[in-house]
Structure 1
Amino acid sequence: MAENPRRWLILGLGLSAQASACTFLYGLPFLVPDIRAAEGLSLAQVGVMVSAPTVGLLLTLIAWGAAADRYGERIVMALGLGAAGLLLAAGSLGTHDVTLLAVLLLVAGAASASVNAASGRVVMGWFGPRERGLAMGIRQTAQPVGVGIAALTLPFLGQAFGYRAALLFPAGLCVLLAILVAVLVQDPPRPPRKETERTRSPYLGSSALWRLHGASSLLVVPQFVISAFSLEYLVSVQHWTPGGAGVFLGVVQAAGAAGRIVTGRWADLVGSRLRPMRQLAVASTLVMLLLALGDRVAPWLAVAVIAIGAVITVADNGLGFTATAELAGTAWSGRALGAQNTAQNIAAALTPPLLGALVGAFGYATAFAVGAAFPLLAIIATPVAAEDAHREATELTAGSK
């Protein structure tokens, strides 16, 4: 493992690039009240619009991961993120048609998928096993940081200028970070092309990666149960102002970012990514049940659990990514991280519209209770034993050299 003294700068740029994409990928829920007021959409309809970037993202993640494996991380991140920013700006300025805007959001999400696999791959390439959990934990703060930035800015911009004008803010961030990535990021060393092409797929002969993708996807559901409609829930049920709810959720997202770093360091210290991930699945199950209880009998409890749950339900994300890259190996890490992201974003895309439909039919408490089933299944699916076997095999191979 070559140690690059610029690796922390590269990590910071990877984090910032991912965060800029997340301001619109996962920040659209903070414009839901403004979108509904401007366009007259139902909660289920606006859920479809909120999911459009995520749908685009999942359609191209594996392809972008393969491109990163083949051509390098820097050019893939810069091209995709720059295109996403321009498409988002075009959607904001170039159309008044809601359907066309949703299509442009979808295509912008597809372009931004370049950052997901490539930024994870570049971090994995420059950090060794003893720092990797911490580094990936820091990198995975990109989502709560991006969502936090969105929470602190988009509700105010939407109220002041309209939701379309508010979209220019994440568009500008994406273009700026694309330029910085193109100038400053350095690709890590990689195996020779012929050796890479001979490497056997890690998906053949083992269920470990399949189970890991499944468990990670199940754990996305409680995360989006909390994040997708928290602002709408606080405004419509708890009667908060949009600005006040945005500030509250922005602070909560900052706590979620810190939680990912702590979780990454925890994984380094215990020498496992998946044991902590399984323990967090237990905690997420309890969060969902308490949230349902709070909505039903104690509104103050629901608000407290939203704050706690926004930390717990995102804390496992870096663990799943790190374990995926380690189990896949260098030659396949881009594609494996793309597959990991695809599986997670299928869950992320389906959760808002289905949650909106559940809330409309049965109320928030029922929707929150249903959300508890998914982390419960993740406890069973997480392949802890496979991780142990892989680590032992890696240590045995290293010792024989």
Structure 2
Amino acid sequence: MSTTTHPHDIGELRRWGMLAVGTFAQAASAVSVHGPAFLIPALHDRLGLSLFEAGVVAAAPMLGVMLTLVLWGLVVDRRGERFALLAGLLGTAVAGGAATLADSALWLALTLFFAGAAAASTNAASGRVVVAWFPPDRRGLAMGIRQMAQPVGVGLAAITVAVLADQQGISTALLLAPAVALVAALAVALVVIDPPRPERTATTAPNPYRRDSYLARIHGVSTLLVVPQFVVWTFALVWLVQDRGWSPAAAGTAVATSQVVGAFGRIAAGQLSDMVGSRLRPLRWVAVAAAATMGALALTAWLDWGVAVLLMVVATAVTVADNGLAFTAVAERAGAFWSGRALGIQNTAQFLTAAAVPPLAGLLVPLAGFPTLFLVAAAFPLLAVALVPVAQEPDLS
């Protein structure tokens, strides 16, 4: 049975504490899911895996996430946020711990797959904690802060996993993810309370997908906006090195800086949505800005102007600013008994699209160059502009 308390009965410290813990839980998930990518050099050099085999191992947790997001959403809808977070984080710790004992690439890939499958619990559960415990006029800012979790988790993995693997071995490097997951589980047990929800009836738990196209359109918008986001994420460093002649160190610094800017861009977008009392008007503005920025990046890259580098940084910030807005809008619309599954569908569509972008873009660049890639990427947010269901958005007051 879920432990429930009315939102007005908790203090500000507890509310912000749950935001901090939810963000930490999501960051712990990011370490488990994205951390193995930083093991590829060690897997190749120390275990003798080919780059393809090492890539398969590194992709295993991502596959686990994609296959279980909707299932975890169902768990959140039926059993509550606290249960899902605890079960998922503890499962991540167990599977991650088993990965440290792996004596073959197959065993390592399987254990990392299950670690990713368990880590997927945080996507819907931590978001729901934020949406439920914060009032509408502060929810956008809170979700923007929570959306910083992924770059924070990836950053933590980036500065630790490869170093640990090089200095202490692969097994020691693999210990980081389960250790962080255990700490996050303890924090959840101490701080997180299930938000209240009404009694489940046909009236309080209608299927929101049968009501209208609102959620489907937001899913579509988010899927379209993933394309320029992952084009920039995946190819910014390669473009700076190959086309601009930067050193790998300088290019890496620029990309890292742009990620920091992007993280704060998510907070700014969330705060803007609170100020204007709408998630979808800012979402449409982001789509317009993403199309314009990617188009300008394509033009300046083609003309070989130095300002293209600045536009790359701006594009990185703009193309991720939609995530928290769409996530919050979906949760608010779907309601207490459907938002877990709705958020799972939202994330699954984004993950599938994100997985398709690098190989398809990689085919385009040798044929047409980076400016053409940036121009093609600009078309996707342009399509998203008309798809944002602003007219259907409910009153947030």
Residue 174 of structure 1: how far off its partner (Å): 2.1
Relative to structure 1, the CA distance from residue 272 to residue 198 in structure 2 (aligned partners, 3 Å threshold; closer, same or farther) is: closer
| CA distance 1:227–1:163, change in 2 (3 Å) | farther
Cα distance change, pair 167–373 in 1 and its aligned pair in 2 (3 A) = farther
Distance 1:147 1:166, change over 3 A: same
Partner of 2:112: 105
Aligned: 1:384 with 2:390: yes
Report what 1:175 is aligned to. Answer: 182
Residue of structure 2 in register with 1:191 after alignment: 198
Deviations 1:152-171 (A, max 9, x none): 44454455567775443334
1:201 match: 207
Structure 1 unaligned segments of length 5 or more: list them.
396-401
2:51 to 18, 28, 41: 41
CA deviations 1:97-117 (Å, max 9, x no partner) are 2x5544443332221110000
Alpha-carbon distance, 1:312 to partner: 1.1
- CA drift of 1:323 comes to 0.6
Q: Distance in 2 between matches of 1:155 and 1:250?
A: 16
* Partner residue, 1:220: 226
Structure 1 residues 268-277 or 22-31, which shifts more? 22-31
TM-score normalized by the length of structure 1: 0.84
Instruction: Give the TM-score, by structure 2 length.
Output: 0.85
Does the aligned pair in 2 maintain the 1:36–1:46 contact within 8 Å?
Answer: yes
More displaced 10-residue stretch of structure 1: 137-146 or 292-301: 292-301
Cα 1:198–1:189, aligned 2, differ >3 Å: closer, same or farther? closer
Q: What are the superposed Cα offsets for residues 311-348 of structure 1, whole Å, 9 maximum, x if unpaired?
A: 11111111001110111122222222222112222212
RMSD: 3.0
2:212 partner SS: coil
Distance 1:138 1:35, change over 3 A: same
Is 1:19 the counterpart of 2:27 in the alignment? yes
Aligned amino acid, residue 21 of structure 1: S
* Equivalence map 1:1-80=2 (5 Å): 2-3=7-8, 4-5=10-11, 6-26=14-34, 39-41=49-51, 51-80=59-88
Q: Render the CA deviation track for 1:3-56: whole Å, top value 9, x for unaligned.
A: 3211110010000110121234345555666667664426xx877665443332
Report the secondary structure of 2:209's partner residue. coil
C-alpha deviations, 1:96-140, integer Å up to 9, x for none?
42x554444333222111000011111111111111111111111
* Alpha-carbon distance in structure 1 between the residues aligned to 2:337 and 2:373: 41
- Rounded Cα–Cα distance in structure 1 between residues aligned with 2:165 and 2:338: 42
Q: What secondary structure sits across from 1:21 in the alignment? A: helix
1:358-377 equivalences under 5 Å are 358-359=364-365, 362-377=368-383
What code does the residue aligned with 1:318 have? Answer: G
8 Å Cα contact 2:78/2:337 also seen in 1: no
Counterpart of 2:148 in structure 1 is 141
Structure 2: runs of 5+ lacking an equivalent: 1-5
Note if contact 1:47-1:353 (Cα within 8 Å) is conserved in structure 2: no
**2:278 match: secondary structure:** coil
Amino acid at match of 1:177: A
1:82 to 83, 90, 106: 90
